[in-house]
Amino acid sequence: MSRIFSGIQPSGDLHIGNYLGAVANWVRMQEGRDATYFCVVDLHALTGTYEPADLRRRRHEMAVSLLAAGLDPERCTLFFQSAVPQHTELAWIFNTVTPLGELERQTQYKDKSARLESVLTGVLTYPVLQAADILLYHATRVPVGEDQVQHLELSREIARRWNARFAAELPYFGEPQPLLTPVRRLMGLDGQAKMSKSLGNTIGLLESREQIWEKLRPAMTDPARQRKTDRGTPEICNIYAMHRAFSPEPVRQEVAANCRSAAWGCIECKQVLAASMEEVLVPIRRRAAEIGARPTYVTDVLADGALRARTTAQETMRQVYERMGLTD
Ligand code: SF4
């Protein structure tokens, strides 16, 4: 049996790229584990520029989206990172065993710092806080995208270093392994870049059918299809990638055949996609409406999640402090 930890930035409403790339997997992972911890990592969000009121709104919207998408507080622990102070406590402890060179070698740090005139310390130590997030709960598996594999390796390195210094005979922290779940990466509606809110090329998970159609109708397709009679290549079309995510196999086969033979125009193809998306999104929208009708529900769920997370986190810190000579 495994213990899962995963975090998501409080970026407001989920879009379908986040949903298919991460959260749909989380929903499946709630079953058959010892424990699953899903965390809205609001402390990590402080390393970018933000307005406090905006962060407050985005945190709440993310929690609503996660619950609407199918996270079940009876089967997982959902909480805000900042509600469990042990994350920053353990991060400080790990700072004391993490060499600067290891942090400076991280690809994400190098990419980010190359674009900044002045680099905040939090950008450098971001993966130390990630290590604390994971190890605080003794997570054995961490669902990650390929871009996070290096940070997870650093978490293992930090666990090894801390164990070597303070728990040499019987290692206290295990080494969490990546869970490379089948991730469906969706390009944005422009077909140019990954779906991302900052690029304005997303479809929100909670958007209405009409709003989605407004966005789908002009979305980029196979550029070879200038006229309806032009034959297309579904494999290079982003709309077909969305069919792969939302449409059942027989529909996907029909789409591919009708694209190759030019039996369908792209608008017909998009109408079929919009119908497939409704099958998945209607129940999610319904749950979001139910959650919205219960004003204290989200706050209560998050408070309960934080309480459960703190219970585990406090025990971890007790063990850590004892081994480090910080208790009498
Ligand atoms: S018919 Fe569908 S799959 Fe083919 S190019 Fe148009 S939108 Fe893309």
278-312 pLDDT, tens per residue?
999 999 999 999 999 998 999 999 999 999 999 99
Q: What is the mean pLDDT of the chain?
A: 94
CB atoms within 10 A of CB 50: 13
Q: Which of 9-18, 192-201, 206-215 has the lowest mean pLDDT?
A: 192-201
Token pair of 265 as six digits:
């125009």
Q: Half-sphere exposure (CA, 13 Å, Cβ side) for 249? A: 0
Residue 194 a catalytic site member: yes
Q: pLDDT band for position 184 (50/70/90)?
A: low
**Residue 212: pLDDT over 60:** yes
DSSP state of 173: S
Q: Which of 55-64, 73-82, 128-137, 179-188 has the lowest mean pLDDT?
A: 179-188
Residue 270 a catalytic site member: no
For range 314-318, the mean pLDDT: 98
Distance (angstroms) between ligand 1 centre and the Cα of 240 equals 6
**Residue 72: pLDDT over 70:** yes
Distance (angstroms) between ligand 1 centre and the Cα of 199 equals 23
Q: Which residue among 238, 240, 271 is best mutated to probe the pocket of ligand 1, counting the most ligand atoms within 8 A of its Cβ? A: 240
Q: pLDDT band for position 124 (50/70/90)?
A: very high
Residue 197 a catalytic site member: yes
* φ, ψ for residue 13, nearest 5 deg: -55, 145
**Residue 183: pLDDT over 70:** no
Token pair of 224 as six digits:
């070879």
Which segment, 140-149, 187-196, 248-257, is predicted with the most confidence on average? Answer: 248-257
